[in-house]
């Protein structure tokens, strides 16, 4: 760890810019500022870089998902199936691979900071005024850091309602679940958003019985309805009991179980509860009042199109500004905020972000859904490719999955792409590139271009031909 250099820069401040938070948004911002030749420091209380993304969010959950995916594949393979009862292995043991990935990620990203000579200050930051941050250092000391401009990239944490005892050993949120060190047979997941659905896949893969409590009428209702229906169908097949339109009344906790009472009058007894209902931005410890900033809903900060808060030398990016609360976008938002800050004329705000949901199988989409196009009265058509018909899918044993292309029936412009099936989060990027190519966004691209064979990407050609057959 490099202790920051308190020598003043060419101006009157210690740093040209200070970034608060070493997650994806903070890292990308710091690298952009450093590459612009400015003196920058990043403040984060963790001894290791990577933010919540690397330590409790994206990386451990995706590595855990991969371990569970491998377990499922091995179970299906008579040669690899060793008769292991995976539901007798505690979750924190399944996470051993994830811990290795986290270690490697931290090493890689630490090198980025070193190579770009970004100072890392380990401590909690809070504002003293518009150009001064007070840092509570990890060794207990206090340090003042002055700066010309700052970027707030403090991320978010699971929202914890007061009436639930998260200190109870049978009550978890998405941070705490990574430490679950005992075996369960059944688990309740409260909240069926992306994180809730991803954990429902992980737990059923391990053989747990899952009660998934959805406060909405449909799973992930912003998805194309067919894809959302496919997910519900597969969840039910794998033993997830989905309860839609429900709301918690109270939770009773005991040494050996939890009982969830729902406002509809239902009660569910289970071994543990995982709370996945919302997140709060980490702004409460920043003393924002000292700079005249006031957070909006759940601690989030409002920014303009240049990622600037209402205080003109203070920018914000990543989960702390809300939409879309994805690591993928946080990197880009951090880089854009820094680009605007240093006056880069090529800076563009993040607007189009694909959906990537790592359930088993995956979901990914970009552009409009059938519901939206129907509502807007756009004359569209659908082209579909089912994975089970693709040579590559048959070779690698993919049984389910579909790629849907929605296109304008007159211009053949691609309006939306929706994919359900393994590798969906990768497959979507082919369509995304075509959709965003200037003058080249047409279904014909997939018919006139030779793709490798056999590949999953062939789904685009099959779907395009299928769609064209519907046009008359």
* Residues annotated within a binding site for NAD(+): 191-198, 278
The answer to whether 126 and 134 are in contact (CB under 8 A) is: yes
Check residue 282 for interaction with ligand FAD (CB under 6 A): yes
Task: For ligand FAD, give the closer residue by CB, 38 or 121.
Answer: 121
Distance CA 217, CA 75 (A): 33
- List the one residue from 203, 358, 387, 420 that touches ligand FAD (CB under 6 A): 358
Name the residue with the smallest CB distance to ligand FAD: 155
Report, in Å, the least distance between residue 43 CB and ligand FAD: 5
Residue with structure tokens 């005991």?
254
Please give the order of strands across the beta sheet that includes 258-262.
248-253, 258-262, 267-270
Given phi > 0 = left and psi -120 to 50 = alpha, else beta, which region is 54? Answer: alpha
Please count the residues of this chain forming the interface with ligand FAD, following the rule CB under 6 A: 39
Question: What does the block give as tokens for 204?
Answer: 């059923």
User: Could you say which residues in the range 1-20 bind ligand FAD, by CB under 6 A?
Assistant: 20
Check residue 240 for interaction with ligand FAD (CB under 6 A): no
DSSP string for 203-269: HHHTT-EEEEE-SSSSTTTTS-HHHHHHHHHHHHHTTEEEE-S--EEEEEE-SS-EEEEETTS-EEE
The answer to whether 25 and 331 are in contact (CB under 8 A) is: yes
The answer to whether 182 and 87 are in contact (CB under 8 A) is: no
Task: For ligand FAD, give the closer residue by CB, 58 or 308.
Answer: 58
User: Could you say which residues in the range 432-451 bind ligand FAD, by CB under 6 A?
Assistant: none
Check residue 44 for interaction with ligand FAD (CB under 6 A): yes
User: Could you say which residues in the range 172-201 bind ligand FAD, by CB under 6 A?
Assistant: 174, 195
Task: For ligand FAD, give the closer residue by CB, 328 or 400.
Answer: 328
Distance CA 41, CA 345 (A): 23
Binding residues, as ranges, are 62, 191-198, 278, 319
Check residue 424 for interaction with ligand FAD (CB under 6 A): no
- List the one residue from 17, 18, 19, 22 that touches ligand FAD (CB under 6 A): 22
- Residue 447: CB atoms within 10 Å: 14
Task: For ligand FAD, give the closer residue by CB, 407 or 420.
Answer: 420
Per-residue CA distances from 58 to 132, 327, 374 (Å): 32, 7, 34
User: Could you say which residues in the range 98-157 bind ligand FAD, by CB under 6 A?
Assistant: 124-125, 153-156
- Residue 353: CB atoms within 10 Å: 15
Task: For ligand FAD, give the closer residue by CB, 96 or 285.
Answer: 285
Binding residues for FAD, as ranges, are 62, 319
Check residue 361 for interaction with ligand FAD (CB under 6 A): no
Check residue 51 for interaction with ligand FAD (CB under 6 A): yes
Check residue 21 for interaction with ligand FAD (CB under 6 A): yes
Interacting span for ligand FAD (CB under 6 A) from 10-18, 40-48, 401-409, 452-460? 40-48
Task: For ligand FAD, give the closer residue by CB, 124 or 261.
Answer: 124
Task: For ligand FAD, give the closer residue by CB, 34 or 405.
Answer: 34
3-class DSSP assignment, residue 369 = coil
The answer to whether 405 and 431 are in contact (CB under 8 A) is: yes
- Residue 60: CB atoms within 10 Å: 23
Report, in Å, the least distance between residue 62 CB and ligand FAD: 5
- List the one residue from 13, 17, 61, 248 that touches ligand FAD (CB under 6 A): 61
Check residue 318 for interaction with ligand FAD (CB under 6 A): yes
Check residue 285 for interaction with ligand FAD (CB under 6 A): yes
Taking alpha carbons only, the member of 217, 239, 211, 213 closest to residue 229 is: 217
Q: What is the dihedral of CA 310, 312, 315, 319, to 10 degrees?
A: 0
Interacting span for ligand FAD (CB under 6 A) from 50-58, 182-190, 249-257, 339-347? 50-58
Contacting positions for ligand FAD (CB under 6 A): 20-26, 43-46, 51-53, 57-58, 61-62, 124-125, 153-156, 174, 195, 282, 285-286, 318-320, 325-328, 330, 356, 358
């Amino acid at each position: 760890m490099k202790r920051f250099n308190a020598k003043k820069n060419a101006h009157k401040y210690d740093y040209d810019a200070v970034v608060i938070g070493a997650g994806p948004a903070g890292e990308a911002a710091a690298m952009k500022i450093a590459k612009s030749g400015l003196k920058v420091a990043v403040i984060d209380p963790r001894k290791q870089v990577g933010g919540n993304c690397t330590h409790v969010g994206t990386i451990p959950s995706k590595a855990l998902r991969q371990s569970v995916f491998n377990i499922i594949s091995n179970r299906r393979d008579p040669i690899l199936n060793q008769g292991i009862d995976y539901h007798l292995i505690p979750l924190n043991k399944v996470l051993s691979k994830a811990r290795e990935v986290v270690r490697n990620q931290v090493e890689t990203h630490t090198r980025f900071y070193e190579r770009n000579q970004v100072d890392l200050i380990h401590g909690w930051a809070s504002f003293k005024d518009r150009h001064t941050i007070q840092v509570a250092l990890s060794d207990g000391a206090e340090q003042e850091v002055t700066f010309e401009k700052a970027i707030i990239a403090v991320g978010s944490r699971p929202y914890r309602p007061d009436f639930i005892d998260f200190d109870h050993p049978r009550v978890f949120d998405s941070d705490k679940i990574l430490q679950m060190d005992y075996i369960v047979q059944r688990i309740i997941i409260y909240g069926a958003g992306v994180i809730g659905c991803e954990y429902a896949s992980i737990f059923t893969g391990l053989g747990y019985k899952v009660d998934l409590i959805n406060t909405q009428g449909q799973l992930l209702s912003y998805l194309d309805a067919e894809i959302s229906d496919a997910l519900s169908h597969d969840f039910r097949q794998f033993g997830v009991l989905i309860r839609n339109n429900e709301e918690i009344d109270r939770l009773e906790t005991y040494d050996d179980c939890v009982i969830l009472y729902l406002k509809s009058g239902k009660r569910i007894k289970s071994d543990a509860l995982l709370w996945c209902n919302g997140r709060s931005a980490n702004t409460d410890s920043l003393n924002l009042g000292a700079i005249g900033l006031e957070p909006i809903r759940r601690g989030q900060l409002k920014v303009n199109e240049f990622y600037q808060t209402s205080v003109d030398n203070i920018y914000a990016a990543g989960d702390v500004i809300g939409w879309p609360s994805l690591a993928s976008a946080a990197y880009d938002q951090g880089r854009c905020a820094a680009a605007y800050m240093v006056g880069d004329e090529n800076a563009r705000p993040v607007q189009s972000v694909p959906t990537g949901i790592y359930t088993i199988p995956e979901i990914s989409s970009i552009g409009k859904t059938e519901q939206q196009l129907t509502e807007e009265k756009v004359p569209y058509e659908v082209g579909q490719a089912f994975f089970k018909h693709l040579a590559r899918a048959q070779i690698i044993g993919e049984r389910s999955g579909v790629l849907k292309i929605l296109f304008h029936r007159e211009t053949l412009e691609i309006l939306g792409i929706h994919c359900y099936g393994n590798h969906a989060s990768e497959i979507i990027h082919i369509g995304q590139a075509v959709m965003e190519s200037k003058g080249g966004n047409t279904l014909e691209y997939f018919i006139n271009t030779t793709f490798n064979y056999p590949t999953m990407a062939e789904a685009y050609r099959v779907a395009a031909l299928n769609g064209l057959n519907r046009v008359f």
